[in-house]
Amino acid sequence: MWALASHAISLAVAEGGAEARAQSGTDQSAAAIVKRDISSLAGSLVGSVSVQVRALPLNFVAVSATGDVPSIFPGVHLQVSAVSAGPLQGFRASG
């Protein structure tokens, strides 16, 4: 269960990161994509999903998410998390 949840959150954060770095992307749209993708990839396997989008120095942006995964062992609390960071996309005039 943990491996599937980890894979789902990694893919979702990568997609959200691409949205956040796109020229027309917003923090809200990036967070919505992460939550939508986690839901569609892992269903209810990942609960209490928290998504953060942060502006970093030098026109970089980071998207991170964490979520809880059920455990078959009593008293064991499992979490998954992922981070995607990179430069904002921009276009330069030639010349």
φ, ψ dihedrals at 25, nearest 5°: -75, 155
Calculate mean pLDDT across residues 72-90: 92
For position 1, what pLDDT does the model report?
Answer: 85
Convert the pLDDT of each residue in 23-53 to its tens digit. 888 999 999 999 999 999 998 889 999 999 9
CB atoms within 10 A of CB 10: 17
Q: What's the CA gap between 17 and 34, in Å, rounded?
A: 9
Put the strands of the sheet holding 78-87 in their side by side order.
47-56, 60-69, 78-87
What is the band of 93 on the pLDDT scale with cuts at 50, 70, 90?
A: low
Strands annotated E in the chain: 47-56, 60-69, 78-87
Residue 95 has pLDDT above 60, yes or no: no
Residue 82 has pLDDT above 80, yes or no: yes
For position 25, what pLDDT does the model report?
Answer: 87
What pTM did the predictor assign? 0.88
